[in-house]
Amino acid sequence: MADKSVILVIDDNMLICTIVKDILKTKYENIITIQDANKSVAVAKEILPDLILLDVVLISTDGFEICRRLKSSPVTESIPVMFVTSESERKIISRCFEVGAVDYIRKPFISAELMARVAVHLESRKHKLQLQSMIREMAEVLRHDELTKLYTRRIFMQELQSYFEIQHKFVLVIADIDNFKRINDTYGHVIGDAILTLVAKALKDNCRPIDIAARWGGEEFIMLFPSLNEDSTRHILECMRKSINEICLEHKGEMISVTTTFGFTNVDFDVEMEKSIAMADKALYYGKKHGKNRCIMYDKSFEFLP
């Protein structure tokens, strides 16, 4: 089966392009040649090849300049460049590496050598891309709480800090599962974990794409709703609350229901970030003290509650 890697050959000599393509096409099916060096960088940005074969000597410019332009763009900087040259002077070879190339091959080249060098660099690029993908996946996993799949407290605080820096209007919400300790003590942590997962899903399902939801700790969750007024906030929180009320787990013939209390506040940027969190928490505390299973907006009078 032919390798699907994309190889771009930049050489203003059509004969060289044909020779290179004829050699490589026995193994690689996507070989693109271009004779106009002035268009080569734009073509590379469009097709994003896995490897570029670039002649040192070009009519309109030189390969070193093309390589510098490729390496100066974030779009193409990671694409490996291998120079093709008839030059043998040490200073010319040194310049190939100075401008960012990974290798060079001299003309007239041996077919087997060209194939071998191309294979090595394509394989190396595949491994690098796989590693980068794994790193991104690991980073994304670390951003989320293992159980609930919501953002972690650390990531939420980073997002919250950025909102305070740009002073973009938002609502801060803290939610707490009612009587969760009793649920854990009565039914065990397996049931408790199942409830945490289901509540987190209900929160996430009712969030907008721009909202941020995180596990704050234990059975508490924290959310950030950008650009919402009180009525819109209440609507979203009521949808969440009702969705959670519909959760029902069976354990040894007994049906376990779940409720959650929400406290929220409109963020005032004259108030420090930690104080804003405390205000949402005071609203939650008020809701807990006055019946639970409700959504409470912060009021200044809460500051004087025992």
Whether the CB-CB separation of 69 and 100 falls below 8 Å is answered with no
The question of whether 29 is a catalytic residue gets the answer: no
Stretch 274-293: mean pLDDT, rounded?
95
* Highest mean pLDDT out of 2-11, 210-219, 266-275: 210-219
Set 29, 87, 219, 254: catalytic member: 219
Report the alpha-carbon distance of residue 300 to residue 97 in Å, rounded.
66
pLDDT on residue 136: 84
* pLDDT of 289 strictly over 70: yes
Encode 212-245: b = buried (16+ Cβ within 10 Å), e = exposed. bbbbbeebbbbbbbeebeeeebbebbeebbebbe
Confidence of residue 155 (pLDDT cuts 50, 70, 90): very high
Stretch 154-183: mean pLDDT, rounded?
93
For residue 144, what are the contacts with CB-CB under 8 A and spacing of at least 6? 150, 151, 152, 155
Give the pLDDT confidence of 197-206 residue by residue, as tens digits. Answer: 999 999 999 9
Q: How high does pLDDT run on average in the chain?
A: 92
Give the pLDDT confidence of 55-88 residue by residue, as tens digits. Answer: 998 877 889 999 999 999 999 999 999 999 887 7
Angle between helices 111-142 and 14-24 (to 10 degrees): 70
pLDDT on residue 1: 62
Report the alpha-carbon distance of residue 177 to residue 93 in Å, rounded.
67
* pLDDT of 264 strictly over 70: yes
* pLDDT of 218 strictly over 80: yes
* pLDDT of 270 strictly over 90: no
Query: Could you tell me the CATH superfamily of domain 153-304?
Result: Reverse transcriptase/Diguanylate cyclase domain (3.30.70.270)
pLDDT on residue 251: 86
Q: Strand 212-217's sheet: what is its strand order? A: 212-217, 220-226, 170-177, 260-266, 295-297
Higher-confidence residue of 216 and 3: namely: 216
pLDDT on residue 271: 86
**DSSP, res 18:** H
Confidence of residue 91 (pLDDT cuts 50, 70, 90): confident
Q: Is 270 helix (H, G, I), strand (E, B) or coil?
A: coil
Write down the CATH number for the domain with range 3-137.
3.40.50.2300
pLDDT on residue 113: 94
Whether the CB-CB separation of 7 and 44 falls below 8 Å is answered with no
Stretch 165-185: mean pLDDT, rounded?
93
Residues of the chain with CATH 3.30.70.270: 153-304
**DSSP, res 295:** E
Residues of the chain with CATH 3.40.50.2300: 3-137
Looking at the chain, the whole-number percentage of residues with pLDDT higher than 70 is 99
Stretch 233-257: mean pLDDT, rounded?
93
Stretch 241-260: mean pLDDT, rounded?
93
